[in-house]
Amino acid sequence: MAHEETVYDALDHAHGGEGQWAFGTGFDDPLAGVDTTIPDGVDAADLGAYCLMLGDDALVLCQRLTEWATRAPELEEEVAIANCGLDLLGQARLLLARAGTCCVLGRSREHATDSIPDEDALAYFRDVDEFANHHLAEADGGDFAQTMVRLLVASTHRLALVAKLRESRDPVVSAIAAKGVPELTYHRDHAARWVLRLGDGTPESHRRAQVAVDAVWPLTADLFTATDVELRLVAQGVAVDPADTRDEVRDVLTMVVERATLTVPAWPADRPSPGRAGEHTDELAPLLATLQGLAREHPAATW
């Protein structure tokens, strides 16, 4: 390309004449050219619902992490948290786009115009009761210790899940999972090292880390009970039963917390996840208002 051209010229060339919807992830369908045929014997509605569960966990936690932008204790840490959020956003985009190819769009199309891609319709135009994320993702970030303990728990759980999902019979889910493994591996390592440093640090950092562990632990109750959708997809070779991740998740978390000289709280009794059923705490609606407000205020805006 001639040197006087900028990247914007190429984008303009590619999308010339058509206004680009203003709030989307933009110019790119993350599944462009990917074979999105639903495998034989797999229920599309179930597969789409499953992708929303995993996608919403990533999207909502990403939004929580980005709340640290301009507020992190040091610049390097701000960049680190934003990078983890960006990886989760990428995973969410792929999963929400996969849900779109399964025609699982909830009520989003009641608000979103046809020109808005499925992944954006799902992110911006579903109501709070249509989100399927665990409460673990939506819980208020708290202080830095709580952010790192929650990131440790969430990345440990998600890594255990996607490591197994690499064997999914849906090739799209399998590929998304395989891409997520190295990303979640360094999220978990990063969070674990911070929990060690805080727990085995000053009396104040130790105190705060223990408060964080005690606050986040009850949220693990929701992580290990399969929904009916998951059970049907496990039978079809598509999904992982979250109960099969329980031992690994508890072992990793116990090891980190003990090494951090903190007390491992009693594990809460497993329960069906209210978040998976669309029942959320009061903390999710304000998060979604921030995420969705501008797009909903100006749904037809282009640039």
Binding site for another protein (CB under 8 A): 1, 7, 9-11, 13-15, 26-28, 30-34, 76, 79-80, 83, 86-91, 93-94, 159-160, 163, 171-172, 174-176, 178-183, 185-186, 188-190, 192-193, 196, 248, 252, 255-256, 259
Q: Which is nearer to another protein, 255 or 277 (CB)?
A: 255
Q: Which is nearer to another protein, 89 or 216 (CB)?
A: 89
* DSSP-assigned letters across all residues of 258-270: HHTTPPPPPPPPP
Q: Which is nearer to another protein, 31 or 135 (CB)?
A: 31
Place of tokens 């999220």: 187
Place of tokens 């701000």: 78
Which three-class secondary structure state does DSSP give residue 271? Answer: coil
Please state the closest distance from residue 235 (CB atom) to another protein, in A: 23
Please state the closest distance from residue 150 (CB atom) to another protein, in A: 17
Please state the closest distance from residue 184 (CB atom) to another protein, in A: 8
Please state the closest distance from residue 303 (CB atom) to another protein, in A: 14
Please state the closest distance from residue 197 (CB atom) to another protein, in A: 10
Q: What is the rounded distance in angstroms from the CA atom of residue 275 to the CA atom of residue 206?
A: 31
Q: Which is nearer to another protein, 58 or 287 (CB)?
A: 58
Q: Which is nearer to another protein, 108 or 245 (CB)?
A: 245
Amino acid at 196: L
Please state the closest distance from residue 122 (CB atom) to another protein, in A: 17
Q: Which is nearer to another protein, 121 or 162 (CB)?
A: 162
Q: What is the rounded distance in angstroms from the CA atom of residue 299 to the CA atom of residue 282?
A: 25
Long-range residue pairs from 185-188, CB within 8 A, at least 24 positions apart, any chain: 185/159, 187/84, 187/87, 187/151, 187/155, 187/159, 188/152, 188/155, 188/156, 188/159, 188/252
Beta carbons within 10 angstroms of residue 96's beta carbon: 29
Angle at which helix 144-165 crosses helix 75-101, to 10 degrees, equals 40
